[in-house]
Structure 1
Amino acid sequence: MNTQSKGSHYNHFNLRADAAKVLHQILEEGQSARECLPAAQLPHKEQDKAWLQEMVYGVLRNLPILQFWLRQLLDKPLKNRFKIVEQLIMLGFYQLAFSRVSQHAAVSETVAACQPLNTHAMKGLVNAILRTFIREEISKQEAPSKQIASGLPKWLYKKLEAEYKNGFAELAANMQVKAPIWLRVNTRKISHAHFSEELEKACIEYTVSSEHPEALVLSKGYDVTSLPGFDLGWFAVQDGAAQLAAHYLKPEQAETILDCCAAPGGKTCHIIEFQPNLAKTVALEIDKKRAIRIEENLVRLGHNAEIIVGDASTPENWWDGQLFDRVLLDAPCSATGIVRRHPDIKWLRKAKDIDVLVSLQKKILDAIWPLIKPGGMMLYVTCSVLPEENYLQIRDFLSRNTNALLDDTFYNDSVENPGKQILPGDQQMDGFYYARLLKSQ
């Protein structure tokens, strides 16, 4: 067999097997896509890497209906080493129902993927289920419930439906839509106009946003590392909602800024771009590996900041005693506002996790607040759409801190309903929450 046919064979069968493996790692082992997808993509060429992500994310977005179809056609759940075949079958369902692949290719290549998965004995079962799926036109059946049709897990569906009531249908639909790629132009390296010209020369399609002066939105998917100026630090990939952080923080010359829970460093870099004449910028991150990402982004974009590996809830272990003028607290959260970009979150996050996260947010808020100068400011941020992590958390914080005030110039909020909630899909943005708190003199 020549080299070319080896590569063809590898990509033909192992690509689907690798997709099933990633799904198994996420759904059965609780790994995040960020952990397992890049490793699975590594041996594949660029086009196949994109296909692998598209298929994995497609299954995760539509998991409830795929599982419903599977339960109809599979007599009893598969166990042990054959469990991965369930993920393989759902991958076949997804291709047949939601992609443009031919039925013959979807069936034959999904069946063939049993070989590299070492589940040869399941070939007949996979073939029979997929052919029944086609013959009985299972994909044309209506979903048995609104929750299954929504693509959301039951706990999250119920929680959002109760909170957002009249706007819930639109919210659920927007959470299913694939998120666009937002770029933030590094205006310390290149002007917005010049970068736009470079994209046009490279035939890269984009739109601009009147609300985001440094932003561009790509009209379709691209390998961002191949875009003009990536290695030169001309831009960063950052959602429009996340780009609001530096503008809301409003750092001023000669100030000292703390960015808590800073990895991968997008907001840190934007703060420096927004106000390059700061006295000091500190990026705090508890995870050593993720702190490396901050350094990489700072180097690529040409910025400097002090990186501290430390726990925001225990500043006594890393703080030097100097108060900060402003703090950006990008709190650990459920990430329910970014599930359209990271659909694995829907299945990794559990209802019981929310109380734990709320307690951690409260602990960090109380630990970091004393580090701010009198007259200083904290910008509290989450990428969540859940009230207990957002306005209820800030309402509670205000009730127990008499020296904390809402900045009434920030947004049309109140002590009863503080902060600004951005929902997924608002002006093409992810779901984010912001509250700006002032420390009295």
Structure 2
Amino acid sequence: MIEIQRLSIFALSQVLAGKNLDHALTEARKAAQGVLSDHQRASLQDCAYGVLRFKTELELVLAPLFQRGEPEMAARLLLMVAAYQLLHTRTAPHAVVSHAVETAGALGLTAARGFVNGVLRNLLRQKEVLIADAHESLEGRYSHPDWWITRLQQDHPTHWEALLQQAQQRPPMTLRVNRRFNSVAQYQARLQGVGLASRPVGQEGLVLETPQAVTQLPGFEQGAVSVQDAGAQWAAHLMGLHSGQRILDACAAPGGKTAHMLERGNGLEGLLALDIEPGRVKKMQADLQRLHLTAEVRCADAVRTDLWWDGRPFDRILLDVPCSGSGVVRRHPDIKWLRREEDIPALAQRQLNLLTQLWPTLKKGGRLVYATCSLFQEENGAVIQRFLEGTEGVKEGTLRQNNEMMQKMDETGSVPRWEKGQLLPDDIHDGFFYAVLQKF
């Protein structure tokens, strides 16, 4: 546990300095003393994710115990990691405390060992009162920035509290079955054969009862299955794919939606997938190769159509725009602390620019699906409204029509809750926004 606590502090310090959590964890694993076991890797991820998920609560619980003033950063992070383990895991309390004291020594905080021991023992004695006090504020109860909570209250006055509660849960692990290789029922039987329970969701999805490393999924390396949230799987369905169509996936990485369209769209004339980040393009190409799928993948800024478009219009465009990620924060809790309120207007303008620049590349009678993984109205309905007001020859599909279509498409009865194009997070789906725009 000492090594896990040390590496968690390493990763968290990088996140608080502005680094993405996934990158920080990669660097932390490289800094490990020896090779980490699967259990250690899972424990490291759980600690880093857990501290960021409950960050404000942990800070408020610990603050009254700092009678001599707030400790230096390393000691504070160590106490937050240990507090997370004490309050939100089943790890034996005596082990957490004793190992935290040893970790302090390993970090060169020898003088702080007694302080760490005293704070954690007081936390155990007073935890009920400390937690109750921390939860007096909305920030402490839900561990989200105040501006974020205010936006959810304004944008979702009926559901804001449920959205915050969902964001504090561990996300489900959902698979997308490649039906070119096997049916959902067949792959579910394969999972059962290796002791993994699952339940169907949507047309190609299976939700695992217990998350697993992809190495444990039968046929993963051979392309039988991919990991993709059930909410993200709606994008390919909304595209209305048919043989002979020419498709653009404008902001494609990491490529899950690209692959899903190719798996579903037998007879497509061609699919062009763009992304601006070279590293993500390489990962997308590798995943398409794993799935035995072919697309034209290019590293390009979708908004600069003069640099990549050949003038041939597309039948379908998927525009999954860069966004705040507020609908997937339970998967990426670092987003809460890396995103700033002033980022949202800039993102919304970027989203509108992408829509405006890509619209001329769509043929008449074609369809553009606008998608975000955001819950903020400024990035969703407000962008669509601005686009509709400034553009001729466009018609938006109505919510009623979309819901009827989704009811017909979903074979499991697990149609998510939608509000004006907003897919609200639940136990199965992350939060997404979709708008279907038709050109006439």
TM-score, L = length of structure 2: 0.92
Segment drifting more, 329-338 vs 127-136: 127-136
Matched, 1:35 2:23: yes
Q: 1:419: Cα distance to partner?
A: 4.9
1:404 maps to which of 384, 390, 394: 394
CA distance in 2: counterparts of 1:366 and 1:117, whole angstroms: 52
C-alpha distance after superposition, 1:8-48 (max 9, x if no partner) = xxxx4222100111111112x11111211123235311011
Aligned in 2, Cα 1:401/1:77: closer, same or farther, shift over 3 Å? same
1:210-225 correspondence runs (5 A): 212-225=202-215
CA distance in 1: counterparts of 2:229 and 2:419, whole angstroms: 23
1:153 maps to which of 133, 145, 149: 145
Correspondence for 1:241:
231
Matched, 1:97 2:87: yes
Q: Is the 8 A contact 1:410 1:436 kept in 2?
A: no
Matched, 1:18 2:7: yes
CA distance in 2: counterparts of 1:261 and 1:119, whole angstroms: 46
C-alpha distance after superposition, 1:59-101 (max 9, x if no partner) = 11111111112221224334xxx41221110111111111111
Matched, 1:76 2:72: no
Which amino acid is the alignment partner of residue 144 of structure 1? E
2:317 maps to which of 309, 315, 327: 327
CA distance in 2: counterparts of 1:257 and 1:286, whole angstroms: 18
C-alpha distance after superposition, 1:170-197 (max 9, x if no partner) = 2211111111000000011222222111
Correspondence for 2:219:
229
Q: 1:248: Cα distance to partner?
A: 0.3
1:144 maps to which of 136, 139, 148: 136
2:106 maps to which of 94, 116, 124: 116
Q: Is the 8 A contact 2:222 2:291 kept in 1?
A: yes
Q: 1:146: Cα distance to partner?
A: 2.4
Q: 1:400: Cα distance to partner?
A: 0.2
Segment drifting more, 129-138 vs 160-169: 129-138
Segment drifting more, 388-397 vs 91-100: 91-100
Q: 1:139: Cα distance to partner?
A: 4.7
Correspondence for 2:431:
431
Which amino acid is the alignment partner of residue 343 of structure 1? P
C-alpha distance after superposition, 1:290-343 (max 9, x if no partner) = 001110110111100000101112111222222111100000000000011111
Correspondence for 1:293:
283
Which amino acid is the alignment partner of residue 13 of structure 1? I
Q: Is the 8 A contact 1:187 1:214 kept in 2?
A: yes
Segment drifting more, 66-75 vs 115-124: 115-124
Q: 1:393: Cα distance to partner?
A: 0.7
CA distance in 1: counterparts of 2:57 and 2:29, whole angstroms: 26
Q: Is the 8 A contact 2:255 2:284 kept in 1?
A: yes
CA distance in 2: counterparts of 1:163 and 1:419, whole angstroms: 12
Which amino acid is the alignment partner of residue 58 of structure 1? G
CA distance in 2: counterparts of 1:51 and 1:372, whole angstroms: 47
Unaligned segments of structure 1, at least 5 residues = 1-11
Q: Secondary structure at the match of 2:91?
A: coil
CA distance in 1: counterparts of 2:343 and 2:186, whole angstroms: 45
**Percent identity over paired residues:** 36
Correspondence for 1:376:
366
Q: 1:430: Cα distance to partner?
A: 0.1
Q: Is the 8 A contact 2:57 2:131 kept in 1?
A: no
C-alpha distance after superposition, 1:120-155 (max 9, x if no partner) = 332222112112212333555342212310121111
1:187 maps to which of 171, 179, 182: 179
CA distance in 1: counterparts of 2:188 and 2:403, whole angstroms: 34
TM-score, L = length of structure 1: 0.91
Q: Is the 8 A contact 2:222 2:290 kept in 1?
A: yes
Matched, 1:276 2:266: yes
Q: 1:412: Cα distance to partner?
A: 6.4
Post-superposition, which runs of at least 4 consecutive aligned residues in structure 1 deviate over 4 A? none
